[in-house]
Structure 1
């Protein structure tokens, strides 16, 4: 297996949309600098501003795993920003069909 694509949707708690948006945007630049990251983008749903969607492309599952479990900016978010997340609506880990 080679590249890994990740698509994750988070829903903000009511009234916490702005705070979560700020916190999620703060982790994008650091994530893009990580070894094995090919792209890392954050989107907001036009129809529902409480829904945030990450689309990530990693060189391998190992790189994504290290990012998610060891990245200091991700750990900081889990400890300080995750309380503004109502739920993770979905998380897909995808291989490209060629």
Structure 2
């Protein structure tokens, strides 16, 4: 199994920046506790408070898939918090060049 790095950028709906930030903070805190989560950070763009950036580092694709498909906090976000997301600006799944 090879490690996986992910960068995802979400755009908040206008006026929903604070709500999305709160929901994404919960996702971040819970994701850090998961098996195979090597690093899981959330950032906000200094020049655009509606742009949130996840930088994730997983032990393997399998760990990330389990996180995305089976975690209660991800399910909760998709059922509730995603309503505050205008768009996913991009999502990169990266392998480190050795």
Q: Note the residue ranges of structure 1 that are not aligned, 5 or more in a row.
A: none
How many aligned positions are there?
Answer: 98
Deviation at 1:94, TM superposition (A): 0.2
Runs (4+) of structure 1 exceeding 3 A deviation are none
Question: For 1:70 and 1:6, how far apart are their aligned partners in 2?
Answer: 18
The TM-score normalised by the length of structure 2 is: 0.98
- The aligned counterpart of 1:92 is 92
- The aligned counterpart of 1:52 is 52
Question: For 2:33 and 2:22, how far apart are their aligned partners in 1?
Answer: 19
- The aligned counterpart of 1:30 is 30
- The aligned counterpart of 2:10 is 10
Q: Note the residue ranges of structure 2 that are not aligned, 5 or more in a row.
A: none
